[in-house]
Amino acid sequence: MKYLLLLLLTLTLSAQNDFSVRLLYGTATDKALGDVLVGDLGSYPESLSVTALDMGYLINKDTFDVPVDIYVKAGLGQFDEGAYSNVNELVVYVKALYNLDFLQNRIRFGLGEGFSYTSDIIRVEKLEALTITDGKTSQLLNYLDVTIDFDFGKLIRYKPLDETYIGVALKHRSGIFGLINGVTKGGSNYNSIYIEKNF
């Protein structure tokens, strides 16, 4: 933990804020995307989790004169598959962040869209694909990153931690109803928490 804090403090030395780094941890849920988005988070019968590190670059600030920042992001993750072999992941995506400033703080609503490639089919997706006839799976799937966070530095009024965000995320993989590699089921959702720093 002390190394993470040291890293965050070191990153505050640069004032450009064109880059971001995010550390995320999530657990699998058996709920569908729509269910999670309306607050039905659910859980999974097995203890399955993911840890991921993303890096981003700001490509457009205040897009169309509204408080929306656009980032291009890439990251590596590892799915802890319990009794089975862990699975590694590479994600590449574009993310829009809507900034809402009030009460001397900032809340961001984010939506990322891109691709996820895993070194093997993750267990959640294998089991879901088995629930339908001819269920397909794929290592390459669509990736969604839905987030809400707040500026922790502004909350505690500690300037060196400004642009340090703490939030929750939905990490989603799917075939978009068969549009990608014919995967109609077999997707996955991970309810996640994260810390992100702009530098």
pTM of the model: 0.86
CA 76 to chain centre: 11
CA distance 32 to 43: 11
**How far does CA 105 lie from the centroid of its chain?**
22
The one-digit pLDDT tens for each residue of the chain (199 residues) are: 555 545 544 544 444 679 999 999 999 998 877 777 777 777 777 889 999 999 999 999 999 899 999 999 999 999 999 888 999 999 999 999 999 998 889 999 999 999 999 999 999 998 888 877 667 889 999 999 999 999 999 999 998 899 999 999 999 998 887 788 788 776 899 999 999 999 9
What are the tokens at 83? 């009794």
For the chain, domains (ranges, CATH) are 2-198 (2.40.160.20)
Per-residue pLDDT, 133 = 63
**Cβ count within 10 A of residue 130:** 12
**What does the pLDDT read at residue 10?**
52
User: Greatest CA span in the chain, whole angstroms?
Assistant: 56
CB atoms within 10 A of CB 14: 11
Give pLDDT, residue 3. Answer: 52
